[in-house]
Amino acid sequence: MLHAGKPAPGFSLPDSDMEYFDFESVKGRHVVLFFYPRDGTPLCAMEAIDFSDHEDEFKRLGCEIIGISRDDMLSHAEFRDRFGLSVRLLSDVDGEVCRKYGVCQMREKDGHRKLCVIRSTFIIDRDGIVRHAFYDVAPKGHAATVYQLVKELNGSGKNSCKSKKTLSSH
C-alpha cells in the first residue's frame, strides 16, 4: 500500500481517446487519482459521475482528476460516452500502475482467484507527494470529501487560490 508522505509513482498510460497520459504532465498541480474496479458497474459509475459533475470546482483549485482501471481504452470510451463522463479515464490493462499504488488484491470468485482493483483514491500535491490515501472507498459522497481535502491542501500551499464553494453530495 502507498501511504501519505511518499512520492507518487510516475507512469504513462493510454486514455479513452487512445492518447497517452504522462504523470509528469501534471507536475505543479494537485492530482486526484481514483482507481476503480470496472467500467459500467453501478458503484463505479456513481463515483465517476460524481467526480465528473464537479470537475470544474476541482479545476478551479488547480486540481486534475484522473480515473484508472484495468479495463481497455475501448471500454473506457464506451463508459465515458454512456454516462457523460468528463474526467480522464486511463487504461492499466496489465495492472502495473495499480500494483505501484497498492490497489490490487487477490480475491476468489466462482472458485477462481483473480487479481482485483480495490476502489482507492490518492490526493497528490503539486510536488508529487501523496497527501491522502484512501483504500476500499465507498463512492457515495466521496467526491465531496476529496474536494474538501484538496481545498484544505490548496489553502495551505503557496500561491493558493481559495474557493468558498463546496460540493453537494448526490
Residues 6+ apart with CB under 8 A from 36: 44, 47, 48, 67, 68, 69, 117, 119
Using alpha carbons, select from 90, 115, 86 the residue that is nearest to residue 103: 115
State the Cα–Cα distance between residues 81 and 28, nearest whole angstrom: 30
Sign of CA dihedral 67, 71, 74, 75: negative
Q: Taking 80 as the threshold, does the pLDDT of residue 126 lie above it?
A: yes
**What is the dihedral angle through the alpha carbons of 84, 85, 91, 92, rounded to the nearest 10 degrees?**
-130
Neighbours of 141 (CB within 10 A): 14
Average pLDDT value for the chain: 90
- Distance between first and last Cα of the chain: 29
- Residue pLDDT, tens place only, 21-68: 999 999 999 999 999 999 999 999 999 999 999 999 999 999 999 999
Q: Which of 8, 163, 13, 168 is nearest to 88 (CA)?
A: 13
Grid cell, residue 18, equals 487512445
Predicted pLDDT of residue 168: 41
Backbone Cα Rg of the chain: 15
Which of 70 and 170 is assigned the larger pLDDT? 70
- 29-155 architecture in CATH? 3-Layer(aba) Sandwich (3.40)
Q: Express each pLDDT in 80-94 by its tens digit.
A: 999 999 999 999 999
- Whether 44 is catalytic is yes
Q: How confident is the model at residue 156 (pLDDT cuts 50, 70, 90)?
A: low
> Nearest 10 degrees: CA dihedral of 87, 6, 72, 69?
-70
